[in-house]
Amino acid sequence: MELVGQTNREVLARQPDIARQLDSTGEIQRLDMERHGAIRVGTATELATLARLFAVMGMQPVGYYDLTPAGVPVHSTAFRAVHEEALQISPFRVFTSLLRLELIEDAQLRAFAESVLAKRSIFTSEALRLIAQAENAGGLNEREAEAFVLQALETFRWHHSATVTAAQYQTLSAQHRLIADVVAFKGPHINHLTPRTLDIDRVQEQMPAHGITPKAIIEGPPRRQCPILLRQTSFKALDEPIAFTDQNQTRGSHSARFGEIEQRGAALTPKGRALYDRLLNAARDELGDFPNEGNAARYNALMAQHFGEFPDSVECMREQGLAYFRYFATEKGLTAGGLGQSSLEDLLRDGYVKAEPLVYEDFLPVSAAGIFQSNLGDAAQAHYGEHSNRQAFEQALGRATIDELGLYAATQQRSIDECLTQLAR
Ligand code: OOG
Ligand code: NI
């Protein structure tokens, strides 16, 4: 947190353009409080109840991420606010994964995991009561809201004791460490809480000096003049003492909680995203392996080489329809007024309107898999025959996930409508 805070202060002092841009989009006000966390749950009921819990705070499931192609037996969504004004007040996201027990081939182990999960309740009864109260009354009053937060915290708490014996933990863990992490505990502990930096390369480079060993590569796009999507780095999970049910002291250990840092850039349109995916895949195909310590330098070189094809200026990305933007009426435009007949392009050209990239609020499946992997170790490399199953996920969730591209397009359109209305006056 100190390193991120210090890096951000340096960037803002050194690069007034970035400070100005963040100021005009309002991001400067949320930068220091912005976080994303992550949790993993084991059953459809747990996921569906979480959706109701997050809905009390105006957080909706956005996006569907399938991590099985990368050997992680989960699929996920992210709960977050969906309107730009709500995001300004509550810039929080929770990456939420559902374990896919159906991918465990050992029928006996699967049945055991299911029976352990069936016995737990990850919500306090008071939390459940307040969720129902919010649903019935269309919200909570201040006293109820305070009680709700305290109750909800219980769901995400770390527990020093497991719900299984040491031997059962070993069996679950041998199948996949993620399975042990979800099944062997009382609830879905928050496993990381990520701050947002304005210069992730600087943070990555400074981490060793602060006694932290970062993962070998930064996930996401390479460094650019004009940041796009999401770049992330993380560092190894802590080994934390755990008591298993057949031990009266904390003699075992479990590692789940880790550190992660991210940098956010422009949200891409379907066209921009297709280009990103193509270049990322090309670089990874050429690397021929998961990026790791040994091939990190080559990976970075391949990424830089392939992404040379991705236009790296705000103007080019806008003209080619690669990113979403927010449009603002300028002082000049507001002073002139009476511009109701002009097109957006004319207004931009004449300096009556300016465009700022719309920040990406979501996640990237390949990056998320890389973050999972870096915390699970090599033993976690598995291959699953069965793939993407959004329908099963949404059935478990009890509702559809929201398409993030629709949200960005709507925010962009609202900003256009608003600035045209202002300039017409
Ligand atoms: C989530 C890993 C993914 C991200 O930011 O993409 C992630 C987990 O480990 O539960 O944190
Ligand atoms: Ni994360």
In angstroms, rounded to a whole number, what is the distance separating the alpha carbons of residues 245 and 86? 43
What is the structure's pLDDT at 337? 85
Query: Helix 296-307 and helix 270-287: axis angle, to 10°?
Result: 140
Nearest CA to ligand 1 atom 3: 368
Q: Would you state the pLDDT for residue 381? A: 55
Supply the residue whose CA is at minimum distance from atom 6 of ligand 1. Answer: 368
Rounded Cα–Cα distance for residues 376 and 181 (Å): 10
The structure tokens 């280009």 sit at: 275
| 194 Cα to the center of ligand 2, angstroms | 6
Return the closest-CA partner of residue 199 out of 360, 9, 380: 9
Q: How far apart are CA 293 and CA 368, in angstroms?
A: 18
Distances, alpha carbon 142 to alpha carbons 6, 19, 33, 148, 372, in Å: 35, 35, 22, 10, 37
Instruction: Please give the Cα distance from 399 to 52 (Å, whole number).
Output: 10
d(CA 267, CA 255): 33
Q: How many angstroms separate the CA atoms of 31 and 359, rounded?
A: 12
Name the closest-CA residue to atom 7, ligand 1: 368
Whole-angstrom distance between the N-terminal and C-terminal Cα of the chain? 45
Q: How many domains is the chain partitioned into structurally?
A: 1
Ligand closest in space to the Cα of 230: 1
Spacing, Cα 425 to ligand 2 middle (Å): 44
Model pLDDT, residue 236:
83
- 366: CA distance to ligand 2 center in Å? 12
Nearest CA to ligand 1 atom 9: 372
Distance (Å) of CA 182 to CA 152, 187, 415: 18, 8, 42
pLDDT score recorded for residue 251: 83
With beta carbons less than 8 A apart as the criterion, state whether 229 and 267 touch: yes
Looking at ligand 1, which atom is closest to the CA of residue 36?
Answer: 5
Q: What is the 3-class SS of the chain, one letter each residue? A: CHHHHHHHHHHHHHCHHHHHHHHHHCHHHHCCCCEEEEEEECCHHHHHHHHHHHHHCCCEEEEEEECHHHCCCEEEEEEECCCHHHHHHCCEEEEEEEECHHHCCCHHHHHHHHHHHHHCCCCCHHHHHHHHHHHHHCCCCHHHHHHHHHHHHHHHCCCCECCCCHHHHHHHHHHCHHHHHHHCCCCCCCCCEEEECCCHHHHHHHCHHHCCCECCCCECCCCCCCCECEEEEEECCCCEEEECCCCCCCCEEECCCCEEEEEECECECHHHHHHHHHHHHHHHHHHCCCCCCCCHHHHHHHHHHHHCCCCCCHHHHHHCCCECEEEEECHHHHHHCCCCCCCHHHHHHCCCEEEEECECCCCCHHHHHHHHHHHHCHHHCCCCCCCCCHHHHHHHHCCCCECHHHHHHHHHHHHHHHHHHHHHC
Q: Give the nearest ligand 1 atom to 364 CA.
A: 6
Using the mean position of ligand 1's atoms as its centre, give its distance from the Cα of residue 269 in Å: 23
Q: What is the dihedral of CA 311, 316, 322, 327, to 10 degrees?
A: 140
Residue pair 148/163 in contact by the 8 Å Cβ criterion: no
Q: Which atom of ligand 1 is nearest to the CA of 38?
A: 10
Residue 343: exposed, middle, or buried by beta-carbon count in 10 A (0-12, 13-18, 19+)? exposed
Q: Which ligand is nearest to the CA of 373?
A: 1
What are 365-385's pLDDT values in tens digits? Answer: 999 988 888 877 654 456 676
Q: Measure 81 CA to ligand 2 centroid, in angstroms.
A: 17
pLDDT score recorded for residue 385: 62
Look up the CATH number of the domain holding residue 4. 3.10.180.80
Sign of dihedral through CA atoms 160, 166, 172, 173? positive
Best mutation site among 64, 372, 373 for ligand 1 pocket (most ligand atoms within 8 Å of CB): 372
Nearest ligand to the C-alpha atom of residue 65:
1
pLDDT recorded at residue 383: 65
The parts of the chain modelled with pLDDT lower than 50 are 379-380
Contact present, 77 and 96 (Cβ < 8 Å): yes
Q: What is the predicted pLDDT for the residue at 17?
A: 92
Q: Could you tell me the residue range of the domain that residue 308 belongs to? A: 1-424
Q: For position 409, what pLDDT does the model report?
A: 98
Whole-number Å distance between alpha carbons of 304 and 217: 13
Torsional sign, CA 330, 332, 338, 339: negative
**Interval between CA 188 and ligand 2 midpoint (Å):** 15
Ligand 1: lining residues by beta carbon, under 6 Å: 38, 40, 95, 97, 191, 232, 260, 363, 367-368, 371-372
Instruction: State whether the Cα torsion 223-226-230-232 is positive or negative.
Output: positive
Ligand lying nearest the CA atom of residue 237: 1
Return the residue whose CA atom lies nearest to atom 4 of ligand 1: 368
Compute the distance from residue 363 Cα to the ligand 1 centre, in Å: 9
25 alpha carbon to ligand 1 midpoint, in Å? 27
277: β partners: none
Report CA(192)–ligand 2 centroid distance (Å): 7
Q: Which of 192, 232, 254 to mutate to test the pocket of ligand 1 (most atoms within 8 A of CB)?
A: 192
Residue whose CA lies nearest to ligand 1 atom number 1: 38
